[in-house]
Homo-oligomer: A and B are copies of this chain.
Amino acid sequence: MDYAFRLDFKVRDYECDMQGLVNNGVYQNYLEHARHEFLLASGINFAQLAKANINLIVVKAELHYRFPLKSGDNFRVDLNVRRSSKIRFEFIQDVYRYPDDKLIMNATITGTAINEKGRPMLPDEIAGLFPE
């Protein structure tokens, strides 16, 4: 599979829980950071949008945990995008440990953009990123 974007990470010890494994909730942090870096590389600044009261929000997250990450692991988040409706878009995000390419997680994150009044509002610059 070809991916549009890749971001590399290393597990930090404070992300591991008493099982010695990365805690479940932490993976969403990794995925979010990868999405924001992808958006930034595409000219879209999440922080500036938030200041302008345009909030990119997640409406659905589907996470398949395939194999746990642990202290010291290096991994990458691979990312693709697609439009799922007029106002919704999807990030396909797969996590691989490296250098052995062990599959860690498959995730699909569905998002939309809302304005100050909570109404869906997809700015053109964002819509353009997600081909219908």
Interface residues of A (CB under 8 A from B): 12-14, 16-21, 23-29, 32-33, 36, 40, 45-47, 50-51, 55, 57-65, 68, 70-72
Contacts and interface: CB of A to CB of B under 8 A. Distances in A.
A99 to B, nearest CB: 18
Given A18-B16, A32-B13, A57 B47 contact: no
Contact of A17 (B17, B51, B72): B17
Nearest to A63: B61
A61 B65 contact: yes
Given A28-B24, A58-B24, A33 B14 contact: yes
28 contacts: A12-B29, A12-B36, A13-B17, A13-B32, A13-B36, A13-B47, A14-B17, A14-B29, A17-B18, A18-B18, A18-B20, A18-B47, A18-B50, A19-B50, A20-B47, A23-B32, A24-B28, A24-B58, A24-B61, A25-B25, A25-B26, A25-B28, A25-B32, A47-B71, A57-B68, A59-B64, A60-B64, A61-B65
